[in-house]
Amino acid sequence: MAVGSNHRDVLIEHYSDTTMKHIVLMEKDGDREVIITDSQGDIIQSSKENKEVLEKYLPTAKDIDLKNDQILASDWEGLPYIISAHPYKVDSSHSGYIIMFQSTRPIEQLVGKLNMYFGLAGVTSIVVLLIIYAALSKFLTRPLIRMKEATEKLSEGDFDVSLPFIGNDELGELSGSIQKLANDLERLKTERNEFLASIAHELSTPLTYLIGYSKVAMRQGVNEKDRKHYLEIIAEESDRMKELVKNLLDLAKMDENTFTVSKEYFKVCPFFEDILQLVGPSFNLKKLSLEIICEEDFEIHADPLRLEQIILNLLDNALKYSIEQSVVTIKVFKKGKKVAISIADFGIGIPSEETPFIFEKLYRVEKSRSRTSGGSGIGLAIVKELVDAHNGSIEVESSLGRGSTFTIII
Ligand SMILES: Nc1ncnc2c1ncn2[C@@H]1O[C@H](COP(=O)(O)OP(=O)(O)OP(=O)(O)O)[C@@H](O)[C@H]1O
Ligand SMILES: [Mg+2]
């Protein structure tokens, strides 16, 4: 359009055949064509030799009567040219139009190229999206699949599961919980196996005695005195076995929480006096003195039967692990709203590295030492369960060779 106006201005200024030829010459080789007509629309000059080619796109050229520049055809998709008309008037007898033909081929080529680029960009983004989708779904689903496999393994009884750490989000927490569950189950399995092995061992020892001594007692020629002695051992071992089985059953009940604690209020001093009556003879037998310090008589909120079981177990240990002619002291006192009961002995004591384990089932310090005193390592496990059932706590202070003090707070 601007070029057409320029040509027109030049033509008005230097109207001559030469100028027209120059204008036509300027547009000869390029994407533009030019036609110069007179006022009737008859072609004076054309940049194309074959001017009919241009003429046919000029149906209205003869009819146009323009005062100003104007676009005659702008349909770049349908026509090979965008056509603009630029009227000129030098004087009354020299006027007409400069008609510019801008080829639409470069535009079409450009649009074609753009279309191709857009298409390519579209395809590329779809591919990229697909890759991201695949990566994301893998990233999200793989941990879930692993967790599913892990839980399936757990349900089949295989607790050897290892899930990688995948972060602190919800998925990570879930994975962590499954891992913890697997570890706990594995630990319980090991503990159970160890426990069963210990029970088997504990039961097999008295059984060996029973079988051995019964065989000896049955032998021909054994005198009555010896036979009586063997039978006594058999009776003693049977008692011990019965006690062990009873304790194990107690412990099993506690584990299942099937035992009940029925708390009531009762006075502490008379309660401990009764216990003293009960255990006094066995302490006397070992020449041990048992003292009770219960200065203030107040009430305790506990299950009397279970508390008695706790105290008897602790006194049994104090008796078993005390040296002869020493003192065992029970002290009862108020501790805030709760009651503290401490049982102190001057016995053989417990090595400090062993104290964390003495409340475990079937745990004994120096296995041989308990066997001679008849312990099986269940007493303190029962005590701990019973204290826990009272929402209480138990602590031990002990030094080897000096004695031990067990303190319960209920
Ligand atoms: N007062 C104590 N002095 C020294 N050692 C103790 C005392 N109380 C407990 N122990 C040690 O702790 C271990 C565990 O005690 P626990 O009462 O559980 O078992 P036990 O006395 O051996 O057997 P059980 O009580 O089942 O007959 C004992 O084997 C013993 O070595
Ligand atoms: Mg004991």
Distance between Cα 364 and ligand 1 center (Å): 6
Please state, in angstroms and rounded to a whole number, the distance separating the CA atoms of residues 23 and 150.
86
CB 368, CB 356: distance < 8 Å: no
Q: Are strands 393-399 and 403-409 parallel, antiparallel or unpaired?
A: antiparallel
Residue 59 has pLDDT above 80, yes or no: no
More confident residue, 410 or 48: 410
Q: Left if phi > 0, otherwise alpha if psi is -120 to 50, otherwise beta: which for 349?
A: left
pLDDT of residue 64: 63
Q: What would the mean pLDDT of 80-86 be, rounded to a whole number?
A: 86
Q: What is the pTM of this model?
A: 0.57
Residues 6 or more apart whose Cβ sits within 8 Å of residue 209? 233, 234, 237
Whose C-alpha lies nearest to ligand 1, atom 4? 349
Secondary structure element (H or E) that encloses residue 206, with its range: helix 170-218
Secondary structure element (H or E) that encloses residue 290, with its range: strand 289-293
87 in ligand 1 pocket by Cβ < 6 Å?
A: no
Residue 73: count of CB within 10 angstroms of its CB: 20
CA count, 13 A, side-chain hemisphere, 233: 17
pLDDT of residue 62: 54
pLDDT, tens digit (0-9, with 9 covering 90-100), for 129-167 = 999 988 888 878 888 999 999 999 999 999 998 988 888
Whose C-alpha lies nearest to ligand 1, atom 19? 377
pLDDT of residue 373: 58
Secondary structure element (H or E) that encloses residue 38, with its range: strand 32-38
345 in ligand 1 pocket by Cβ < 6 Å?
A: yes
Please state, in angstroms and rounded to a whole number, the distance separating the CA atoms of residues 409 and 393.
5
Q: Which of 73-77, 97-101, 181-185 has the lowest mean pLDDT?
A: 73-77
> What are the structural domains of the chain?
2-103 (3.40.1840.10), 264-409 (3.30.565.10)
Residue 47: count of CB within 10 angstroms of its CB: 21
pLDDT, tens digit (0-9, with 9 covering 90-100), for 294-338 = 988 899 999 998 999 999 999 999 999 998 899 999 999 999 999
Sign of CA pseudo-dihedral 200, 202, 203, 204: positive
Q: Are strands 289-293 and 327-335 parallel, antiparallel or unpaired?
A: parallel
353: tokens are: 């590295």
Whose C-alpha lies nearest to ligand 1, atom 1? 318
Q: What would the mean pLDDT of 69-80 be, rounded to a whole number?
A: 82
Phi, psi of 99 (to 5 degrees): -110, 125
Please state, in angstroms and rounded to a whole number, the distance separating the CA atoms of residues 64 and 34.
16
Phi, psi of 20 (to 5 degrees): -60, -45
Predicted confidence band of residue 176 (pLDDT cuts 50, 70, 90): very high
Residue 271 has pLDDT above 90, yes or no: yes
